[in-house]
Structure 1
Amino acid sequence: MKPSVLGRDKHMEIRQVASPQEKDDAFHVRRVVFVDEQNVPEDLEIDEHDDTAVHLVGYEQDEPIAAARLRFVGDYGKLERICVKRPYRGKRYGKEMILFMESLIEEHTYQASKLNAQTHAEAFYQSLGYETVSGEFMDAGIPHVTMTKTL
């Protein structure tokens, strides 16, 4: 398991979920962002992949503020459910979470990552080296595109 990481100028500690409380914290952040804020039905947000995925949660002063999950699908590490609570956006925490996930992908000897980005976040992912490889499609009523990156 990768140790917790605390960036030099950041106040978010990222943990790979290792306890029921950490998993509850990750799901709490996902519910706040996706279910409450974006109106994604909870039965779509929490799905069958949650049982086998690697879950991550970011904390600021012990408060869960960010979450994501990682799966290994085909030749890719697949970044999923990346979210940051609204009051903590714009502080580079999303970028920190993605870089952490990419390091886990590389540790598992995969050489590429993939994600389905909400279209409003496409430019953000492009700034991190992701390339759009699909047309727009709907997922949970929200427009998305598939993006990949060679690590």
Structure 2
Amino acid sequence: MSDFDVDVGTWEAFADAATAVRKAVFVEEQGVSEAEELDGNDSDAVQFLARDGEYPVGTARLRFPDPSVGKVERVAVREPYRGDGVGTALIRAVEDAARDDGATALKLHAQTHVEPFYEQLGYETVSDEFEEAGIPHVKMRKRLNG
């Protein structure tokens, strides 16, 4: 497992790099429409960017629809980097930032094929399967300890 730097910042700072990763994963690889992927909520979110050197390899965002429950969204890791710890590093950074912002829990919509990844990190499935952007998902949740 490699160590990846995960930077925390704004959409203004990370837009180009985060968009490149999300387009590669969601639009090109999974066939999600660009309009659905770039949903207009990015400037309201805390952004996370994982890099290998200067190359952006993963991204995520954190929003607070409810002040005490953060919502993890748009988690994407470029295909060659999956299984290298990028996703784990991103989620840990999101959890730390959410705790710092006073969140007591996190929720997310996970594609069903990555449900085991989130379970390993302590997330629990709290819904039946549903479809989002034409892809099967489940809702997951995790309590954050102080």
Q: Per the shorter chain, which TM-score range?
A: over 0.9
Kindly state the Cα deviation for residue 30 of structure 1 after the two structures are TM-superposed. Answer: 0.5
**Is 2:22 the counterpart of 1:39?**
no
**Distance in 2 of aligned mates of 1:30 and 1:41:** 11
Q: Is the 8 A contact 1:17 1:23 kept in 2?
A: no
Kindly state the Cα deviation for residue 53 of structure 1 after the two structures are TM-superposed. Answer: 1.0
Q: Deviations over 1:76-104 (max 9, x none)?
A: 11100001000111101101100110000
**Distance in 2 of aligned mates of 1:49 and 1:100:** 20
**Is 2:111 the counterpart of 1:115?**
no
The number of aligned residues is: 143
Kindly state the Cα deviation for residue 19 of structure 1 after the two structures are TM-superposed. Answer: 7.2
Q: Is the 8 A contact 1:11 1:61 kept in 2?
A: no
Counterpart position of 2:57: 65
Kindly state the Cα deviation for residue 123 of structure 1 after the two structures are TM-superposed. Answer: 1.0
**Distance in 2 of aligned mates of 1:127 and 1:67:** 19
**Distance in 2 of aligned mates of 1:60 and 1:34:** 20
Gaps of 5+ in 2: none
Q: Which has the higher contact order (CA 8 A, sep 6+)?
A: 2
2:107 aligned partner, one-letter code? K
Give the alignment partner of residue 96 of structure 2, picking from 87, 99, 103: 103
**Cα separation, partners in 2 of 1:148 and 1:19, compared to 1, 3 Å:** closer
1:94 aligned partner, one-letter code? G
TM-score (norm 2): 0.93
**Distance in 2 of aligned mates of 1:56 and 1:96:** 10
